[in-house]
Amino acid sequence: MLFMVIERFRDNDMVPIYERVRDAGRSLPEGLEYVDSWVEPNFSRCFQLMRCDDLRKFQEWCLQWRGSGATFEIVPVVSSKETQETVARHLK
């Protein structure tokens, strides 16, 4: 499944998070795949598209970031193409 992970940076300060990623990598558990990400211009949030079939992998990952100044909202999403295919069957 696909998930949009909304990462919030304490005080809009993403530098400590970027330093940690630079120094230690993303530290993703096996089975949690990073796809791509986008950052707001004011640095308050990062939107990460991730793929995973076991939600416990997200729990493991979030626990690794405790105390870092980042918080995470994890939202299941469906691609526009897949949604269009689903809706197409209901169009008149």
CB atoms within 10 A of CB 3: 19
The answer to which of 23-27, 34-38, 71-75, 82-86 has the lowest mean pLDDT is 23-27
- Rounded Cα gap, residues 5 and 84, in angstroms: 22
Residue-wise pLDDT tens digits, 47-57: 999 999 999 99
Q: Sketch the domain layout of the chain as residue ranges.
A: 2-88
Give the fold, CATH level 3, of 2-88.
Alpha-Beta Plaits (3.30.70)
pTM for the model stands at: 0.85
How many angstroms separate the Cα of 43 from the Cα of each of 6, 10, 30, 33, 70?
Answer: 12, 10, 28, 23, 12
Burial (0-12, 13-18, 19+ Cβ within 10 Å), 43: middle
